[in-house]
Amino acid sequence: MIVIDGRKTSVDLKNELKADIEHCRVATGKIPGLAMVLVGDNPSSQVYVRNKAKTCKEIGIGAKVIEMPDETPQEKLLEVVAGLNLDPDINGILVQQPLPSHIDEFTTTLAIDPSKDVDGFHPENLGQLLLGRLDNCFVSCTPFGILELLTRYGIETTGKHCVVVGRSDIVGKPMANLMLRKDDAANCTVTVCHSLTRELPFFTRHADILIVAIGNAGFITSDMVKPGAVVIDVGNNRIEDHDAKSGFRVVGDVDFRSVSAVASAMTPVPGGVGPMTIAMLMKNTVLSFKRMNALQGP
Q: Whole-angstrom Cα distance, residue 246 to residue 102?
A: 32
Q: Whole-angstrom Cα distance, residue 37 to residue 70?
A: 12
Candidates 5, 20, 52, 160; catalytic one:
52
Q: What is the CA radius of gyration of the chain?
A: 19
Please indicate whether residue 119 is annotated as part of the active site: yes
Residues contacting 191, CB < 8 A, separation 6+: 161, 162, 163, 164, 203, 206, 207
Please indicate whether residue 183 is annotated as part of the active site: no
Candidates 119, 233, 253, 255; catalytic one:
119
- For residues 232-241, one letter each, b for 16 or more C-beta atoms within 10 angstroms of the residue's C-beta and e for the rest, the string is bbbbbbeeee
Candidates 5, 20, 96, 226; catalytic one:
96
Q: Whole-angstrom Cα distance, residue 150 to residue 167?
A: 20
Check residue 17 and give left, alpha or beta (phi > 0: left; psi -120 to 50: alpha): alpha
Task: Please give the distance of CA 228 from its chain centroid, rounded to a whole number.
Answer: 25
Residues acting as catalytic residues: 52, 96, 119
